[in-house]
């Protein structure tokens, strides 16, 4: 066993420190050398426990679920817990470097514990040290988890601050919006930009997924939109700029549905561009009809980066008209039976309550979604924006 005697190798381990040489001499015949190259598996999580491994040289590493948990070094041992409770391996152990181990099989391990109080005492010392280490790791993990929770809370506060502070209202137009992420931070975004020519731009976006990267792009989208507030004359130019902003993060394979509407209450027009977003609804007060403003282009991120053309369409905008924009978190919320809230229910609410203010209709829709979901947890980010052309009776 290299230049070190077998007894010396055992004595240098935490398990046998202080054990009499005569006892070590009886144990030496029961242990076998095992040399492994780096990245070689020692045992796998879930394996039967057939031996404990004493580390003479090198560094085995404990893994679980592909995550590296802790590294062990010379003098330490791995695999003793499963031998004690006669269970299965609780983690995977792999040689991080070339290692030299001493294997001590189950039967010899149990016999030594029974026959030699000093060995049992050594095992108790090892287990106590590992228990203390485990407590320290758990405390460190709890502290890190709390720091992460606080960071996410701050991120949520920052993201919430990116949304409009209040509803928008003039003599000719009122807009009310709502956004609630499914987790701490999300990928939904809405905003409205009041221009000096009395036009109002309204945008709603849904970045794929929710979480850190989605919320980061939401911040980029807001910056892009406000930069274009006075420059972008038509919805297609805004959509192109959004696509170009998204291309900065395309290595993350982010996709974003987006709808941008430009309302001109003076001319009585509604211009809109829709890139793969759930179709908004336009309620025409003069006819009492509800129109779906379908997608005119694919979802942003699906087109080639050199694509430079987006479409937009025009509709009339008159007193009493409504524009309802939403993300799929509204229509796809499910009840306890798995049934979605659905578009038909949303359409019915708009038609039945078209006489309400934008804030009133928004709340009616949200309350209906909440009643439908009941006690079920929110599955996706939810965003809803309602715009209404003010008529004389609404003032």
pLDDT at residue 291 in the model? 95
Contact assessment for residue 75 and residue 12, using Cβ atoms and an 8 Å cutoff: yes
d(CA 320, CA 168): 16
Does position 160 have pLDDT exceeding 80, yes or no? no
Tokens (6 digits) for 115: 């026959």
Per-residue pLDDT at 229: 59
Q: Are 176 and 167 in contact (CB under 8 A)?
A: yes
Mean pLDDT, the chain, rounded, equals 81
In tens, the pLDDT along 13-72 reads: 777 777 777 777 888 888 888 999 999 999 888 888 888 888 889 999 988 877 788 888
Q: Which of 81-95, 268-282, 331-345, 369-383 has the lowest mean pLDDT?
A: 81-95
pLDDT band at 1 (very low <50, low <70, confident <90, very high): very low
Give Cβ neighbours of residue 111 (< 8 Å, ≥ 6 apart).
Answer: none
Report residue 88's pLDDT band, with 50, 70 and 90 as the boundaries.
confident
State residue 76's pLDDT score: 86
Separation of alpha carbons 52 and 102, rounded Å: 8
Q: How many C-beta atoms lie closer than 10 Å to residue 302's C-beta?
A: 14
Q: What does the pLDDT look like over 180-205, one tens digit per residue?
A: 887 655 678 898 888 777 889 999 98
CA 332-365-226 angle, 5° bins: 85
Asked whether residue 219 carries a pLDDT value surpassing 60, the answer given is: yes
Query: Residue 161: pLDDT band by 50, 70, 90 thresholds?
Result: low
Query: Quick one: pLDDT at residue 64?
Result: 81
Helix/strand/coil (H, E, C) string of the chain? CCCCCHHHHHHCCCCCCCCCHHHHHHHHHHEEEEEECCCCEEECCCCECCEEEEEEECCEEEEECCEEEEECCCCCEECHHHHHHCCECCCEEEECCCEEEEEEEHHHHHHHHHHCHHHHHHHHHHHHHHHHHHHHHHHHHHHHHHHHHHHHHHHHHHHHHCCCCCCEECCCEEEEEEEECCCCCCCEEEEEEECCCCCEEEEEEEECCCCHHHHHHHHHHHHHHHHCCCCCCCHHHHHHHHHHHHHCCHHHCCCEEEEEEEEECCCCEEEEEEECCCCCEEEECCCCEEEECCCCECCECCCCCCCCCCCCEEEECCCCCEEEEECHHHHCCECCCCCECCHHHHHHHHHHCCCCCHHHHHHHHHHHHHHHHCCCCCCCCEEEEEEEECCHHHC
pLDDT tens digits, residue range 95-153? 999 999 988 888 877 777 777 776 666 666 666 566 566 656 666 666 676 676 665 66
Question: What is the widest separation between alpha-carbon atoms in the chain?
Answer: 103
- The pLDDT of residue 91 is 84
pTM above 0.75, yes or no: no
Query: In Å, how far from its chain's centre is CA 173?
Result: 37
Mean pLDDT along residues 285-302: 89
């Amino acid at each position: 066993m290299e230049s070190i005697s077998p007894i010396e190798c055992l004595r240098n381990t935490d398990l046998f420190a202080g054990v009499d040489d005569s006892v070590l001499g009886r144990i030496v015949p029961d242990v076998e050398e095992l040399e492994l190259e780096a990245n070689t598996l020692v045992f796998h999580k879930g394996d039967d426990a057939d031996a404990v491994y004493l580390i003479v040289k090198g560094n085995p590493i404990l893994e679980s679920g592909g995550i590296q948990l802790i590294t062990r070094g010379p003098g330490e041992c791995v695999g003793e817990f499963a031998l004690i409770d006669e269970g299965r391996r609780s983690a995977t152990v792999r040689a991080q470097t070339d290692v030299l181990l001493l294997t001590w099989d189950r039967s010899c391990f149990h016999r030594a514990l029974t026959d030699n109080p000093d060995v049992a005492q050594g095992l108790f010392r090892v287990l106590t040290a590992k228990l203390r280490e485990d407590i320290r790791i758990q405390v460190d993990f709890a502290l890190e988890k709390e720091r992460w929770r606080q960071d996410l809370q701050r991120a949520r506060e920052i993201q919430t601050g990116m949304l409009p502070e209040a509803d928008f209202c003039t003599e000719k137009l009122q807009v009310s919006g709502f956004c609630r992420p499914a987790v701490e931070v999300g990928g939904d975004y809405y905003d409205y930009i009041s221009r000096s020519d009395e036009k109002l731009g309204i945008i709603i976006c849904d970045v794929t997924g929710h979480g850190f990267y989605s919320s980061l792009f939401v911040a980029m989208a807001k910056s892009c939109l406000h930069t274009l507030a006075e420059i972008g004359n038509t919805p297609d130019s805004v959509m192109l700029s959004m696509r170009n902003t998204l291309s900065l993060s395309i290595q993350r394979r982010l996709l974003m549905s987006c709808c941008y509407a430009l309302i001109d209450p003076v001319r009585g027009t509604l211009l809109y561009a829709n890139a793969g977003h759930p179709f908004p609804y336009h309620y025409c007060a003069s006819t009492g009809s509800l129109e779906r403003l379908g997608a005119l282009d694919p979802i942003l991120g699906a087109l080639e980066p050199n694509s430079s053309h987006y479409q937009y369409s025009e509709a009339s905008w008159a007193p009493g008209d409504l524009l309802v924009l939403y993300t799929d978190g509204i229509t796809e919320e499910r009840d306890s039976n798995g049934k979605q809230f659905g578009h038909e229910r949303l359409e019915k609410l708009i038609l039945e309550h078209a006489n309400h203010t934008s804030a009133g209709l928004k709340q009616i829709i949200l309350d209906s979604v909440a009643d439908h979901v009941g006690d079920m947890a929110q599955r996706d980010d939810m965003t809803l924006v309602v715009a209404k052309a003010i008529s004389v009776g609404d003032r």
